[in-house]
Amino acid sequence: MNKPVKILSVAVPVPLSRLFDYRLDENSEELDCNPGQRVWVSFGNRKLVGVIVEINEQSDLELSKIKSVLQLLDPELSIPESLMRLCTWAASYYHYPIGEVFSAAIPALLRSEKPVPIPQITRIALTTEGEQTDPGTITRSPKQQQLLEYLQQNQRCNLSAIQQLSLAGSPLQSLIKKGLAEKLQVDEKFESEDLDTALLAESNLALNSEQQVALDTITQQLDQYRCYLLEGVTGSGKTEVYLQAMEKVLQNGQQVLVLIPEIGLTPQTMSRFQNRFNCPQTVLHSGRTEKQRLRGWQQALSGHAKIVIGTRSAIFTPFANLGLIIIDEEHDASLKQQEGFRYSARDLAITRAHQQKIPVILGSATPCLESLYNADQNRYTKLELTQRAGEASKPVFRVVDLRGRPLDGGMSQPLVQLIRQHIEQNNQVLIFLNRRGFAPVLMCHECGWISECRNCDTRMTLHHSPYYLHCHHCDHKRSVEKQCPECKTKELNPVGLGTERAEQVLQELFPDTPVMRVDRDSTRRKNTFEKMLAEIQTGEPCILIGTQMLAKGHHFPHVTLAAILDADSALYSSDFRGMEKMGQLLTQVAGRAGREKKQGEVAIQTHEPNHPLLHLLFQEGYPSFARELLKERRLTGFPPNGYIALIHAQSTFREKAEELLQTLSDVLPTDPATEVLGPIPSAMERRAGRYRFQLLLRSDSRQTLHTTLNQCLQFFESHKIDRNVRWQLDVDPVELF
Ligand code: ADP
Ligand code: ZN
Ligand code: ZN
């Protein structure tokens, strides 16, 4: 009988919060294995790729009941210990099944047992004949002669080297034809290279004194954990501080991870990193192919890529020698995964830095209240940049009182005049409206019928070009009714304002000025956004109308007026973070106006011109505004002055979703330290055909909250749950409803 020699505890991608034991028998070909290595195992009647978490001599189970591992997979693609620790921590903190955490953390190609294709590169080599030919004998073609000489000195060189010499075309073809050279496909190796002396491809800017203080503070102690909150107004030169801190880390031979929000991932941003450093860099985001992602993963793991820039999921990149993490726009909501494994890349980055004993920099013009609070508590070191770099000055704010004023396409007369002034002075104008489409509602003038979505408790948005109705929540599309389905009259009117309609109205008001719309619809086609950006950079007068896409990250030096058409929807938001988000957005939009030498203006249209928080924001800026909001949070016990989690349930049957949460809430031990609120319906109760309910847990203590969450998990695992109901936990949710 075979005696099992090793018991492997494996994280298998199934929705259960535990590891599973498998055995590795003596007659297996390979006995050598390591935690982090992938294995192919059978689970029920499926075969899955899991990750070894522990290796033991014994198991609590009877040996005969333990299945054998089907296959150990490529040890070179094992998850390093540092990333294992992060994933294990994440599984426990987010109460998410550990096997699914690992599965989410690795590139899709590693979720299969199939051998990973090793990328090939082309090398040019000489044949024996080529080695022995005297280049002097090729008299008729100096270029072929030059190439042969080059190849004799540089055996097996990269094709790119020959391309740089402009010899890759016909000279190379000729040598191949003559049987002197050949093309070879070889495995690409991701070896770590020592950087040559010239790390900087362009020189650093001379820092102003605030930047210098920030840089010195960060680089003083690069060999230990510390979280730095770099709070700097838009245009104050945060990126320059990042770049110079990175330089020090790279010089120490270490790698850097830079996380940026989805919207910030523009060619403009990328090129600032690429232009500064001469070293292998990798970009990881959802737009990459699976092969590219795997390649980036391997390059970081081997130490070859020195800089990894990516969106939220890049926090799970393995590194050979990570030395610094930077999170730009740390307040951005896209850093939180909002479905499935709901993690915060910002919070994971801080945990990772702590685990790996390295510094982490959180940068923002408008830090989230959690980070400001942590800085107040001295958990983070706050560094401030208060001056805009260069000669730019602070914008002037104007509140446009909408009460009693007629609107044309959402624009009041004073705003139209303001736009006109700026255009006449040959400047650019940016108008912000966070609603795409033509109009949010189509309504019958006769009977009040409204274009509702059949799957959701919401209205279908009317789009004009092309002409159709679209639900932005479940993606349902349908053609526009020719007459009212209720009363059959033809008086169907668009109500409300979207970017498409605002664009139309602006173009009518300013027929001689180009109006450009920037939203997810207008930029769907590849490169359209880049083309628009290029046109904007020319500096010709134009009007830009768009959604959030316009508010962040871009550098528009010729914009002198930024206008917010509708501040009210944020002022009346029911989310506890509504005000915070509005303040961040207004500040970001304001940061677009008046960069470089031109004085900027910011106009806000509202029915509540005397709102004290708006005034605080405009007169004293985001820091004072945030301080006021923190006071409110202290009274309500919401984050950062308390901890919350949401439990979601959804079902095609209303009662079933509600009932599951009710039962849970009934069985939870009544611990006065954790408040349980609900179940209540989600703000949009029915979405994509499913009814949604939620239970809110709140506690003053993180530990107490997590004890309660463990009890919830026990309930879900022991309770027989109707197959029609799905549930999910969201720890530290960013959106409550
Ligand atoms: P932020 O990231 O804070 O929005 P940026 O780093 O994009 O700011 O800087 C805004 C502009 O100021 C950029 O064009 C940048 O090159 C320039 N800049 C930054 N620091 C300096 C400096 N020390 N001296 C001169 N120009 C600077
Ligand atoms: Zn009608
Ligand atoms: Zn819908």
Contact 381, 375 (CB under 8 A): yes
Q: How many whole angstroms from 495 Cα to the centroid of ligand 2? A: 14
Q: Is residue 290, in this structure, part of any structural domain at all? A: yes
The whole-number pLDDT of residue 288 equals: 85
Closest C-alpha to 728, from 334, 341, 337: 341
Q: How many whole angstroms from 270 Cα to the centroid of ligand 3? A: 36
Substitution candidate for ligand 1 out of 240, 330, 366, 386 with most atoms within 8 A of CB: 240
Task: Write the residue with the smallest CA distance to atom 19 of ligand 1.
Answer: 237
Ligand nearest to the CA of residue 483, numbered in listed order: 2
628 and 512 share one domain: yes
**How many whole angstroms separate alpha carbon 283 and alpha carbon 628?**
38
The whole-number pLDDT of residue 669 equals: 77
Work out which ligand 1 atom sits closest to the CA atom of 206. Answer: 23
The whole-number pLDDT of residue 137 equals: 85
How far does CA 273 lie from the centroid of its chain? 18
The whole-number pLDDT of residue 527 equals: 77
DSSP string, 534-589: HHHHT----EEEESHHHHSS---TTEEEEEES--HHHHT--STTHHHHHHHHHHHH
254 and 156 share one domain: no
Which CATH number goes with the domain that contains 705? 3.30.70.600
627 and 673 share one domain: no
Q: Is residue 450, in this structure, part of any structural domain at all? A: no
Work out which ligand 1 atom sits closest to the CA atom of 591. Answer: 4
Q: Is residue 473, in this structure, part of any structural domain at all? A: no
Q: Is residue 458, in this structure, part of any structural domain at all? A: no
- What element of type H or E holds 665? helix 654-667
**How many whole angstroms separate alpha carbon 598 and alpha carbon 425?**
11
247 and 318 share one domain: yes
Q: How many whole angstroms from 389 Cα to the centroid of ligand 1? A: 5
81 and 20 share one domain: yes
Angle subtended by helix axes 81-93 and 345-356, to nearest 10 = 130
Residue with tokens 């990459």: 288
The whole-number pLDDT of residue 387 equals: 81
Q: Per DSSP, which regions of 26-102 are E strands? A: 38-43, 46-56, 71-72
Residues linked to residue 38 through DSSP beta bridges, in sequence order: 51
**How many whole angstroms separate alpha carbon 207 and alpha carbon 218?**
14
Work out which ligand 1 atom sits closest to the CA atom of 232. Answer: 3
125 and 107 share one domain: no
240 and 270 share one domain: yes
Q: How many whole angstroms from 560 Cα to the centroid of ligand 1? A: 18
Is the backbone peptide bond immediately before 466 cis, with ω within 30 degrees of 0?
Answer: yes
Work out which ligand 1 atom sits closest to the CA atom of 207. Answer: 23
Ligand nearest to the CA of residue 442, numbered in listed order: 2
DSSP state, residue 644? E
Q: Is residue 638, in this structure, part of any structural domain at all? A: no
693 and 714 share one domain: yes
Burial call 259-269: b when 16+ CB within 10 Å, e when fewer: bbbbbbbbeeb
Which CATH number goes with the domain that contains 89? 3.40.1440.60
**How many whole angstroms separate alpha carbon 490 and alpha carbon 125?**
75
Work out which ligand 1 atom sits closest to the CA atom of 233. Answer: 3
Q: Is residue 446, in this structure, part of any structural domain at all? A: no
Work out which ligand 1 atom sits closest to the CA atom of 211. Answer: 23
589 and 550 share one domain: yes
613 and 684 share one domain: no
Q: Is residue 665, in this structure, part of any structural domain at all? A: yes
**Residue after which a domain boundary falls, among 92, 111, 130:** 111
Longest dimension (CA), the chain: 94
The whole-number pLDDT of residue 61 equals: 81
Q: How many whole angstroms from 357 Cα to the centroid of ligand 2? A: 66
**Residue after which a domain boundary falls, among 70, 93, 111:** 111
Give every residue of the chain whose pLDDT is below 70, as ranges: 1-4, 26-31, 189-197, 389-393, 552-553, 594-597, 737
**Residue after which a domain boundary falls, among 91, 111, 131:** 111
Read off the pLDDT of residues 228-281 as tens digits, 9 standing for 90 and up: 999 998 778 999 999 999 999 999 999 999 999 887 777 778 888 989 998 889
The whole-number pLDDT of residue 570 equals: 75
Site residues for ligand 1, CB cut-off 6 Å: 205-208, 211, 232, 234-240, 389-390
The whole-number pLDDT of residue 552 equals: 66
**How many whole angstroms separate alpha carbon 217 and alpha carbon 207?**
14
Q: How many whole angstroms from 464 Cα to the centroid of ligand 3? A: 18
364 and 426 share one domain: no
Q: How many whole angstroms from 406 Cα to the centroid of ligand 2? A: 26
Identify the domain containing residue 229 by its residue range: 209-385
Q: Is residue 409, in this structure, part of any structural domain at all? A: yes
The whole-number pLDDT of residue 30 equals: 62
Substitution candidate for ligand 1 out of 239, 242, 243, 266 with most atoms within 8 A of CB: 239
Q: How many whole angstroms from 363 Cα to the centroid of ligand 1? A: 14
Task: Write the residue with the smallest CA distance to atom 9 of ligand 1.
Answer: 237
166 and 260 share one domain: no
Contact 589, 564 (CB under 8 A): yes
The whole-number pLDDT of residue 393 equals: 67
Task: Write the residue with the smallest CA distance to atom 5 of ligand 1.
Answer: 237
Half-sphere exposure of 62 (CA within 13 A, CB side): 2
Structural domains of the chain, count: 5
Q: How many whole angstroms from 308 Cα to the centroid of ligand 2? A: 56
Amino acid, single-letter form, for residue 116: V
**How many whole angstroms separate alpha carbon 503 and alpha carbon 483?**
26
The whole-number pLDDT of residue 17 equals: 87
Which CATH number goes with the domain that contains 419? 3.40.50.300
**How many whole angstroms separate alpha carbon 286 and alpha carbon 288?**
5
